[in-house]
Amino acid sequence: MTREEHLKFCKICKHREMNSSLGLVCNLTGARADFEGECANFEKDPAARPVIVDDTEALPPEVIKRRLDKDMVEKLRMEQNLPRAIIAGLAAALISAGLWAVITIATDYMIGYMAVAVGAFVGFAIRFAGKGIDRIFGIWGAALSLFGVLLGYFFTIVGIFANYAEMDFFETLINFNFDLLSSVMEEILGPIDFLFFGIAIYEGYKFSFKPITEKDLVELEKSANK
């Protein structure tokens, strides 16, 4: 029997239980259904309601790989493109760092929480370009988010110096004394900034994967059983 045929029974059985890694399982065995014809433990739940399959929350890649068979996982991997993802993530890091500097120069104020936007932008760029389900996409997302945040802080410092000296940004960048960078960073960075660093890295990792929801997974499982 296919997974879909099993679910016709499981969805209305009083022993059903939702497992975040396996989907709908039997609470007697803790496993997905594997019976043929009829289930010896089946007991219809008179209060059963249709199971609502989530179509909004993306599942972690490790859950997706556990739920799908090897052939379907390999099919998804064939759609991946790591080089394109890295290029897109690097571009997103550079653009977001530049925008951070522009906002700083315009407002004459350092906005630390812009780091969060950098992480999200990098992650979504990698997701869109890479369509990845392997952990390496998340690692690159986290690394490029950190790079974008550090670059954003650097550009921001250059922007503040440019405003203070009434100089052009690029002129200040070219003449910047990098020997002063570490001491300036120590001066301006506080605990809240490191919190933003952490959030940006987390977002860069989380958002870098191809979004596959529970509903998508059910459809993939169906197609694999055809």
Measured distance CA(121)–CA(128) in Å, rounded: 11
Domain boundaries of the chain, sorted by first residue = 1-52, 82-206
Q: Is the pTM of this model over 0.85?
A: no
Measured distance CA(165)–CA(171) in Å, rounded: 11
Measured distance CA(126)–CA(138) in Å, rounded: 9
Residue linked to tokens 């910047």: 176
pLDDT for res 52: 56
pLDDT for res 59: 77
DSSP code for 104: H
Q: What is the DSSP string of 113-159?
A: THHHHHHHHHHHHHHHHH-B-SHHHHHHHHHHHHHHHHHHHHHHHHH
pLDDT digits (tens, 9 = 90+) for 181-224: 777 777 777 788 888 889 999 999 999 999 888 777 767 766 65
pLDDT for res 135: 92
Measured distance CA(176)–CA(194) in Å, rounded: 24
pLDDT for res 199: 93
Residue type, 100: W
pLDDT for res 72: 82
Q: What is the DSSP string of 55-74?
A: SSSBPPHHHHHHHS-HHHHH
pLDDT digits (tens, 9 = 90+) for 111-122: 777 889 999 999
From first to last of its 226 residues, what are the pLDDT tens digits of the chain?
777 778 777 888 888 888 877 888 898 888 888 888 778 888 888 776 655 555 667 778 887 777 777 888 888 889 999 999 999 999 999 999 988 878 877 777 777 778 899 999 999 999 999 999 999 999 999 999 999 998 988 888 887 778 777 788 788 888 877 777 777 777 777 788 888 889 999 999 999 999 888 777 767 766 655 5
Beta strand 23-26 with 16-19: parallel, antiparallel or unpaired?
Answer: antiparallel
